[in-house]
Amino acid sequence: MLSMAHERAARNTTISTSLSMGLLIMSSSSPDREDGPTHLTYRFSSSVNQVPGTQNVRSICAQAFQRWAQVTSFTFEEVPATTAADITIGFHRGNHGDGSAFDGPRGTFAHANPPRGGNFHYDADERWSSNPGPNEVDLESVAVHEIGHLNLLGLNHNPDLPAAIMYPYFDYGITKRDLHRDDIDGIRALYGL
């Protein structure tokens, strides 16, 4: 989950995230690591029809999935919204049925269910963009982060390395899309790559 919490500092605002939603790293002894699928499907299904700034969300998410595919043995394929999929991506507001209600603007940006959950939800009340200005959140940066938590990937946050995608702090106007060496080493260590 990427969220924003304000703490006043002498010069600026610090952005933090809650780790209370069970974003887990699976143990290396999990049978899913060796026996699970490497080709994962995803679909889009939202409870909100129009979210400004999200016209290109399909191609943006495809790019985010490709970043992980380039450093793992996983492949990702979009399927029609009416088809069963390993991962469901959507925009939602407030309580949307997964037990992790959104809190409106400048709160939780997005969340992904822990491994095996397969849901990746954006908060429809945030100001989204593919080219963010100072008061907008970058769609792809958040997608790359949340995908790292999904299904078999199962990475946790790394609070020690601000340059890492899996760093739990994020803010408006920032673009951070490239996997850091730590993200790559983490996913490869989980899968013995």
Distances (CA, A) of 107 to 94, 101, 104: 11, 11, 6
Separation CA 33–CA 159 (nearest Å): 24
Residue 146 falls in the annotated catalytic set: yes
Number of C-beta neighbours around residue 173 at 10 A: 12
Pairing of strands 119-123, 108-112: antiparallel
Query: Do 64 and 144 touch, CB atoms closer than 8 A?
Result: yes
What is the residue whose two structure tokens read 């069970």? 22
Catalytic residue among 78, 126, 136, 146: 146
CA 90, 108, 147, 28 torsion-angle sign: negative
Catalytic (active-site) positions: 146
